[in-house]
């Protein structure tokens, strides 16, 4: 079954673009809210949650802008997940735009999982 693309926006109050980037664009930052631990070798990121590990390849990254990963299981497909910082022109507020893919039956659960992860990010950073 083909996965559906999902875009979710999270407004982050009191956010600094540099702090937000360190939180989403570095292994240490990701280990504070996204996973229990993150190790990196070249462009291969190993995300650990309790006793589970999942490997992703970092496909693209632009400092203070976005980082895009592809899970090992999605190799050779157009499926990825991306964390992108968007600065709203009028207010200069920061928004984190999440792009992910999920099976049609899993879209709601995927959004709920991201909601939980972003809540964790907010608690850890005060954003």
Q: d(Cα 100, Cα 42) in Å, to the nearest integer?
A: 23
pLDDT on residue 95: 93
In the prediction, which pLDDT does 89 show?
A: 81
Q: What is the CA radius of gyration of the chain?
A: 14
Domain count, the chain: 1
CATH at residue 37: 3.30.530.20
- 81: CB partners within 8 A, 6+ apart: 56, 68, 69, 70, 71, 98, 99, 100, 101
pLDDT tier at 97, thresholds 50, 70, 90: very high
Residue 101 belongs to what domain range?
Answer: 4-125
pLDDT in tens, 16-38: 899 999 999 999 999 999 999 99
- Residue 13 buriedness (CB in 10 A; 0-12 / 13-18 / 19+): exposed
Encoding tokens for residue 73? 């299981």
Mean pLDDT of all residues in 78-105: 92
In this structure, what DSSP letter does residue 26 have?
A: S
Residue 91 has a pLDDT of 80
Distance between alpha carbon 23 and the CA centroid of its chain, in Å? 10
Reported pTM: 0.91
């Amino acid at each position: 079954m083909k996965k559906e693309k999902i875009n979710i926006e999270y407004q982050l109050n009191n956010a600094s673009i540099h702090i937000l980037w360190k939180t989403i664009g570095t292994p240490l930052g990701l280990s504070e809210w996204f996973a229990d631990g993150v190790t990196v070798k070249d462009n291969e990121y190993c995300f650990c949650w309790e006793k589970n590990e999942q490997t992703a390849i970092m496909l693209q990254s632009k400092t203070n802008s976005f980082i895009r990963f592809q899970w090992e299981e999605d190799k050779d497909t157009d499926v990825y997940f991306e964390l992108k910082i968007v600065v709203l022109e009028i207010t200069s507020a920061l928004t984190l735009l999440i792009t992910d893919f999920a099976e049609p039956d899993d879209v709601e659960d995927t959004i709920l999982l991201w909601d939980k992860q972003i809540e964790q990010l907010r608690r850890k950073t005060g954003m």
